[in-house]
């Protein structure tokens, strides 16, 4: 934004009557990193070159058991900024702005009051709140949240690719969006791409806050990598030898897991050089993993520059620094790519919190959800917490990493009409799959034991019903999830479609009831295989369908089995 406008905004906020009260409170630097899983040196990755995030961990507490609330950008970032889970808000998709749903939430329960975001809460308490880079998901029809910031948020402008061959290979995907290759390694400066520009802008904003020392700042800096495409200056690719990169150990979905629980990696397949069908071969897998690590190191370097600016300008002793990844990422494990699942590689995230007077160079196994960051920052800053949050403060853990404030975390992922609600404790993850509002006994379950099966090779829900029952009882203590928010027009269209579908099903049932009566020659209320085959238009294929109708395997079909297959 123009400097004169920014300075004018800063001047206005000096005059804010809350500023004097906030002057001695700590500053906040919230570093958000897109698609960053714990492929980081300080989190135990032996290959990752991430010296700046590693150095940050030495200044604070590393959360080894932190999880997102939904493994996709917009809902995860909504959880960060509102302290509310996706199932509380009712937004599981990319296009829906969270304010549309939360305004309805407030209208239905006026005692809740208006939802106040994390940065908005700090702004209301006298902080200069600024958003730089990717904080909210902007795109797919979604927009920024102006109420969250003291001055308009800022995003970089620049090329996604610089190599001629890659620029020429930008072509529309199946939805018409222009996409280039999945990777790029170009011998260019850091500032050529977006993350380098975000670092420069953040450094400049940090410096400018010194002009108004009486007002504390809340700066959220959102870095774009390692989100696809895996684009980074060549020097970061050169940090890794491809043959030394870790390859996936398990390349098939968990045994006995629902087929819909995984992901097809459609996000990756949209890129112009990835529109291939079938499994991704070993060579391409290695190249993509190389790209992910290179992009991670690129982001790490930019993070280092921003933290160096905090130190350079004398803010180190009075600034809370948080590093947060919005969700994990599948790198070929289970044969899957991208996020979009409830599995460990998609749900686990890196979180580091460094706060004045708190623990340093420490790690904790305390379980954390993204929604916990809001109340944690508020308590660490000495601000009265906002009401009705789903999150719990982890400030006690930041001060003493041996403490635990959660026994488990929960997260969700939708699949068509079903919602997968996951609950994870220190040993197990259970996932309950059912339609929102449906009876509990209609659910399909997953259960994984991370002590005996850390790579999630088999769903053991059917073998340990008592563990499923115990974890499900904990999950059911939470309210029934809200369905995906829809506008009045969308609801009317959905109601009309439901009506048409019901009419179609009724007509189909009437027709099949007549077919059943015609085939039931002995009028005993059942169809044998011989009766089932009567009047079939494809007598060679029809026998193969009989077992699909015969749900109880009694070698005969009841009227319900035939009419409602």
Q: Considering the candidates 32, 42, 68, 73, report the single residue annotated as catalytic.
A: 73
SS3 468: helix
SS3 436: coil
519-558 per-residue burial string, b: 16 or more CB within 10 A, e: under 16: bbeeeeebbbeebbeeeeeeeeeeeeebeebbeeeeebbb
Nearest CA to 226 out of 42, 50, 44, 455 is that of 50
Nearest CA to 329 out of 349, 358, 301 is that of 349
Task: Tell me whether residue 173 is exposed, middle or buried, using C-beta atoms within 10 angstroms of its C-beta: 0 to 12, 13 to 18, 19 or more.
Answer: middle
Sign of the dihedral through C-alpha 476, 477, 479, 481: negative
Specify the long-range contacts of residues 373-376, CB closer than 8 Å, at least 24 apart.
373/80, 373/83, 373/118, 373/322, 373/324, 374/80, 374/81, 374/82, 374/83, 374/118, 374/121, 375/83
Nearest CA to 86 out of 317, 345, 419 is that of 419
Strands 330-331 and 337-338, by their bridges, are antiparallel
Nearest CA to 255 out of 462, 472, 70, 433 is that of 462
| DSSP single-letter state for residue 237 | H
Nearest CA to 411 out of 116, 166, 66 is that of 66
CB atoms within 10 A of CB 385: 15
Alpha-helical regions (H) of 16-171: 19-22, 51-59, 73-82, 86-89, 98-108, 118-124, 164-168
Q: Considering the candidates 137, 330, 340, 411, report the single residue annotated as catalytic.
A: 137
Alpha-helical regions (H) of 134-281: 164-168, 194-208, 234-237, 266-269
Rounded CA gap, 265 and 340, in Å?
A: 8
> Where do we find the tokens 């309950």?
432
Query: What's the chain's length in residues?
Result: 565
Angle, helices 373-381/73-82, rounded to nearest 10 degrees: 30
Decide if 16 is catalytic: no
Beta strands in 173-236 (DSSP E): 178-179, 183-186, 217-223, 230-233
Query: Which active-site residues does the annotation give?
Result: 73, 137
């Amino acid at each position: 934004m123009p400097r004169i406008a920014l300075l004018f905004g800063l001047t206005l906020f000096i005059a804010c009557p809350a500023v004097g009260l906030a002057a001695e409170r700590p500053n906040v630097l919230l570093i958000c990193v897109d698609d960053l899983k714990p492929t980081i040196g300080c989190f135990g990755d032996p290959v990752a070159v991430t010296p700046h995030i590693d150095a940050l961990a030495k200044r604070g507490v590393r959360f080894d058991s932190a999880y997102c609330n939904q493994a996709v950008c917009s809902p995860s970032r909504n959880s960060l900024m509102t302290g509310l889970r996706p199932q509380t808000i009712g937004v599981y998709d990319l296009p829906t702005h969270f304010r549309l749903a939360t305004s309805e939430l407030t209208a239905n329960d006026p005692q809740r009051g208006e939802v106040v975001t994390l940065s908005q809460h700090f702004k209301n308490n006298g902080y200069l709140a600024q958003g730089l880079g990717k904080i909210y998901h902007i795109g797919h029809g979604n927009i920024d949240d102006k109420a969250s910031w003291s001055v308009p948020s800022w995003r970089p402008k620049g090329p996604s690719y610089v190599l001629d061959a890659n620029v020429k290979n930008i072509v529309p995907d199946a939805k018409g969006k222009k996409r280039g290759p999945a990777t790029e390694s170009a011998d260019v400066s850091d500032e050529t791409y977006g993350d380098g520009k975000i670092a420069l802008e953040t450094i400049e904003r940090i410096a400018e806050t010194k002009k108004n020392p009486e007002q504390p700042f809340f700066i959220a800096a959102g870095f774009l990598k390692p989100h696809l495409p895996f684009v980074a200056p060549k020097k970061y690719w050169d940090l890794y030898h491809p043959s030394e990169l870790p390859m996936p150990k398990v390349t098939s979905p968990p045994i006995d897991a629902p087929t819909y629980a995984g992901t097809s990696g459609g996000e990756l397949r949209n890129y112009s050089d990835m529109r291939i069908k079938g499994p991704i071969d070993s060579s391409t897998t290695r190249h993509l993993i190389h790209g992910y690590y290179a992009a991670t190191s690129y982001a790490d370097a930019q993070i280092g520059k921003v933290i160096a600016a905090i130190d350079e300008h004398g803010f180190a002793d009075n600034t809370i620094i948080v590093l947060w990844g919005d969700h994990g990422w599948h790198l070929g494990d289970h044969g899957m790519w991208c996020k979009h699942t409830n599995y460990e590689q998609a749900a686990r995230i890196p979180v580091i919190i460094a706060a004045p007077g708190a623990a340093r160079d420490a790690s904790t196994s305390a379980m954390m959800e993204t929604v916990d960051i809001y109340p944690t920052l508020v308590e660490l800053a000495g601000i009265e917490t906002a009401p009705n949050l789903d999150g719990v403060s982890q400030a006690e853990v930041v001060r003493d990493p041996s403490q635990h404030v959660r026994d488990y975390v929960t997260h969700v992922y939708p699949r068509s009409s079903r919602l997968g609600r996951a609950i994870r404790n220190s040993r197990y993850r259970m996932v309950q799959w059912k339609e929102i509002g449906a009876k509990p006994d209609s659910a399909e379950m997953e259960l994984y034991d991370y002590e005996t099966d850390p790579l999630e090779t088999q769903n053991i829900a059917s073998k340990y019903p008592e563990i499923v029952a115990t974890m499900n009882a904990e999950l059911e203590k939470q309210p029934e999830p809200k369905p995906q928010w829809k506008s009045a027009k969308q609801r009317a269209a959905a109601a009309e479609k439901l009506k048409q579908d019901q009419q179609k099903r009724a007509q189909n049932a009437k027709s099949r009831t007549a077919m059943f009566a015609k085939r039931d020659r002995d009028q005993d209320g059942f169809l044998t295989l011989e009766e089932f085959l009567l009047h079939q238009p494809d007598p060679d294929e029809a026998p193969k369908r009989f077992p699909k109708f015969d749900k109880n395997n009694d070698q005969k079909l009841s009227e319900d089995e035939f009419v409602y297959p």
